[in-house]
Structure 1
Amino acid sequence: MSDDIHDFFNDDDSWGNAQQDDAGAPPAPPRSRRDMRMKRKSNQRHRMVKLIIAIAVVIALIVGGIYAYRAVKQWRHNTLADSSVVEDYPGPGSGSVAFTVTAGEGVTQIAEHLVREGVIKSVDAFTGVVSANDMTLYPGTYELKHQMKASQAAQILSDQGNAKGFVEVRQGERLQAVLERASEASGIELKDFEAVTTNAEEASKILPAEANGNFEGWLEPGVYNVSADPSATQILTDMVKARISKLDELGVPQGADRERTLIIASIVEAEVNSPEYYGMVSRVIQNRLNDDMSLGMDSTVAYGFGINGTELTNDQLNDGSNPYNTRVNKGLPPTPISNPGDDAVEAAMHPSDGNWLYFVTTNLKTGETKFTDNYDQFEQYVQEYKQNNDGAN
């Protein structure tokens, strides 16, 4: 049958003529099955090429859309900070403005305040700069100018070193460091603060009886406005009152138990840098006290010498004349060794359940700390610490 059809197309010349004469006639059919197969493969290749091109176009559109989104987002950030798009002064400004950022104020509130004071021209220019650069604005009183460029004002307010009139008591910080910053922020001489803290009569007017005349541990962490306070006495009084109020709020027992809690909390916070371990360290302290063991805490020894733990020498570690040397002297040190925060206070009151007697921060970078009740295991942790922190300060 195939041969007959082939002969038919070869013999009948009218078929080819019809193609030439009639423009509307269908194209000539393939001359063989082989030609038909080749034509089908050609059509398949054409369809595959079209499909690949279509996929490539879709991918290009998606990638282009992503880049366009990022470009628009960056453009929005840039334009908010650009004085040519958002109303802004060219700077650098003139005159002098004492501008105060109070604790708890948001970026928009600060910007609105800056506009009212004539420091910047628009809220958007300032908030755009702060957002685009992920800035943190600190409480305090700053020296600014009238008609400043928004970015210049933001840079000043985001540098805590420029702040005046406010002082922060940081959790885990020693009394002396607080006094030095309070002096700098308030303009009151350091010796005036030290005179209050070392004068038994003055101290008794501010501190509760259980503090035994010592301010260490009795300053509540937080930010204080010292520009309005007239004296070192008033500033310290505010900090102690805030501490007592917080301890009452946390349900810390009054009297000797309150001082004991602060002592333990201050050691807990000095020994580890992560709240996840606070309760466990508190339990180690309690277990050692219950077993009539020395606490063996380097943090207390260092406090007694007024240095950091990394500065301790072997002679100092063995010096029993230091009342804060809990390696040699059993029991708690005579006072707290810092001003602990809420988490440490809670841990001191509610230690974790466990029989641990030893702990080692085996990795100073990550803060990983391991606990055990076995001395041999403790020695292994010490070796692990040395391996992980070889050459660490």
Structure 2
Amino acid sequence: MSEDSSRQRRGESSGDDNESFHGLFSPTEAERRAGVRGLRIEQEHLTPEQARRRYARRRQVLVSATIVFVIAFVVSASILGPRMGLFEVKDYHGDGNGKNVSITVSQGDSNASVGQRLEQKGVIANSEKFVDVMEDKASNKFIQPGTFELQEHMSSESAMNSLIGSGSAKHYVAISQNQRKDETFDALAKGTGISVDEFKALDNDPGQFGVPDKFTSLEGFLHPGEYRFDADASAKDVVQEMVDKTKKDLKNAGVKGDDRIFHVVTVASILEFEGTPKDYKGVAGAIENRIDNPDGETQGFLQSDATVAYGLGKKTYQISDEQKQDASNGYNTFANKGLPQGPIGSPASNAIKAAAHPEKNDYYYWVTVNLDTGETKFAKTYDEHQKNVDEYDQWCSEHEGKCV
């Protein structure tokens, strides 16, 4: 019998495909005699529960391996990413997110230093990108010194355009309350680069700015506040802007006429030195009582230390009896009745409103008994006032160096 016929017979006798499959790998009779045992294939039979458990184990192993891979990737990326600059925002897009940011550029600042300042303020994403843009698109232009209004999250090109655009540079100047004209001129000169002498020259002719003739200088009209003047603004432009703000405050307070304007501005300037904003109206009422009643408790004398100090060219709370008796000082309201010969500073809006609309009261005296808190006490008579002065003196003795 041939080998083929033998295999065929084994396949025909099985009667099913599985047996035929195994028969294909069974050795022939001759192979058995030669010791060949053939290939043994076993079929594993699993119950549904065993199959489910095996699938679950394999799935768990796959999930665990995936988690390990993800963690390893994140750790590697967090270490290598910043070094390679993978997550660094190179530039923003557009003209900003609407949140304003002030940037000041000083004389001699380089593009790199400006870029670093812009990045620190959140205006741009990357200072190096900003420098590249400046070199590529504005190589022949320079950022002028001044204060600029930009926005957060601007593209480097948009920030560059804002900084080198025509008329974009501003000079920032802050004028505080209680600041006299000479101090204001110094601050303006420092902030704008304009000579202080140019400002002082304008002080000789306040009428050119629409200031009433009763005012012999610009004192009282150099409105305090924050300013951003155009980089090419002249000294006259600067002063006019400040005067216009004071004139606007007077108009809003309903103050009209040269005499009334002189009265209100002068009283308002005194309020800035004699009280705190919450007491402005009360002090203004007491001042009016003194001026309107020359035969009253104070016989028409204002008796303000602040006005005497202004006439002396000093800033002090300590005025001697001799200084109070010097009538040649046109700002001495101890020796001269009524208002001083002019304002002693430039008042802000709240002081102008209080002077224009004083509180109706019966007080003739006031004194700030605590210079730290600004607590002010009022009195109708001199005896009452003297008790308040004693309280002030006690406070000064407990706070050495404060009452100078």
TM value normalised by structure 1: 0.59
SS at match of 1:266: helix
Corresponding letter in the other structure for 1:167: V
Is 1:177 the counterpart of 2:183? The answer is yes
The match for 2:17 is none
Deviation string, structure 1 residues 134-193 (Cα, Å, up to 9, x no partner): xxxxx9538xxxxxxxxxxxxxxxxxxxx9822123233211111101011111111111
Deviation string, structure 1 residues 31-74 (Cα, Å, up to 9, x no partner): xxxxxxxxxxxxxxxxxxxxxxxxxxxxxxxxxxxxxxxxxxxx
CA distance in 1, matches of 2:86, 2:360: 61
The match for 1:374 is 381
CA distance in 1, matches of 2:88, 2:286: 60
Deviation string, structure 1 residues 235-267 (Cα, Å, up to 9, x no partner): 112211222123212322232101110001111
The match for 1:279 is 281
1:9-24 correspondence to structure 2 within 5 Å: none
Q: Per the alignment, do residues 242 and 360 of structure 1 end up closer, same or farther by CA in structure 2, a change over 3 Å counting? A: closer
1:165-204 correspondence to structure 2 within 5 Å: 165-198=171-204, 200=205, 203-204=206-207
Is 1:234 the counterpart of 2:240? The answer is no
Corresponding letter in the other structure for 2:207: S
- Quick one: which of 300, 303, 309 aligns to 1:302? 309
CA distance in 1, matches of 2:242, 2:251: 14
CA drift of 1:106 comes to 10
SS at match of 1:281: helix
Corresponding letter in the other structure for 1:171: Q
CA drift of 1:109 comes to 2.8
The match for 1:221 is 224
- Quick one: which of 341, 357, 362 aligns to 2:369? 362
> 1:207, 1:213 within 8 Å by CA — same for their partners in 2?
no
Deviation string, structure 1 residues 252-288 (Cα, Å, up to 9, x no partner): 223210111000111111101x211101100110001
CA drift of 1:213 comes to 3.9
The match for 1:60 is none
The match for 2:246 is 243
CA drift of 1:310 comes to 3.1
Report runs of 4+ in structure 1 exceeding 4 Å deviation.
Answer: 82-89, 111-114, 117-127
Bigger fraction of residues in helix: 1
CA drift of 1:386 comes to 1.0
Structure 2: runs of 5+ lacking an equivalent: 1-81, 91-95, 106-113, 125-144, 149-168, 295-299
CA distance in 2, matches of 1:107, 1:330: 55
CA drift of 1:356 comes to 0.4
CA drift of 1:309 comes to 2.2
Structure 1: runs of 5+ lacking an equivalent: 1-81, 90-104, 128-138, 143-162
CA distance in 2, matches of 1:383, 1:86: 68
Corresponding letter in the other structure for 2:220: G
Is 1:351 the counterpart of 2:333? The answer is no
Q: Per the alignment, do residues 291 and 224 of structure 1 end up closer, same or farther by CA in structure 2, a change over 3 Å counting? A: same
The match for 2:291 is 289
> 1:180, 1:190 within 8 Å by CA — same for their partners in 2?
yes
> 1:297, 1:327 within 8 Å by CA — same for their partners in 2?
yes
The match for 1:253 is 256
CA distance in 2, matches of 1:106, 1:177: 38
CA distance in 2, matches of 1:106, 1:332: 52
CA distance in 2, matches of 1:121, 1:363: 43
Corresponding letter in the other structure for 1:109: N
CA distance in 2, matches of 1:275, 1:244: 20
CA distance in 2, matches of 1:86, 1:371: 65
Q: Per the alignment, do residues 87 and 364 of structure 1 end up closer, same or farther by CA in structure 2, a change over 3 Å counting? A: farther
The match for 2:347 is 340
Deviation string, structure 1 residues 292-316 (Cα, Å, up to 9, x no partner): 1200000000111111123544432
Q: Per the alignment, do residues 113 and 243 of structure 1 end up closer, same or farther by CA in structure 2, a change over 3 Å counting? A: closer
SS at match of 2:100: helix
> 1:166, 1:227 within 8 Å by CA — same for their partners in 2?
no
Corresponding letter in the other structure for 2:292: N
Corresponding letter in the other structure for 1:226: F
Corresponding letter in the other structure for 1:193: F
> 2:203, 2:217 within 8 Å by CA — same for their partners in 1?
yes
- Quick one: which of 96, 109, 122 aligns to 2:100? 109
Corresponding letter in the other structure for 1:110: V
CA distance in 2, matches of 1:121, 1:248: 41
CA distance in 2, matches of 1:110, 1:289: 48
Decide which moves more: 302-311 or 370-379. Answer: 302-311
Q: How many residues align?
A: 262
Alignment RMSD, CA only?
Answer: 3.6
CA distance in 1, matches of 2:321, 2:382: 21
CA distance in 2, matches of 1:266, 1:106: 42
CA distance in 2, matches of 1:369, 1:317: 22
SS at match of 1:224: strand
> 2:101, 2:123 within 8 Å by CA — same for their partners in 1?
no
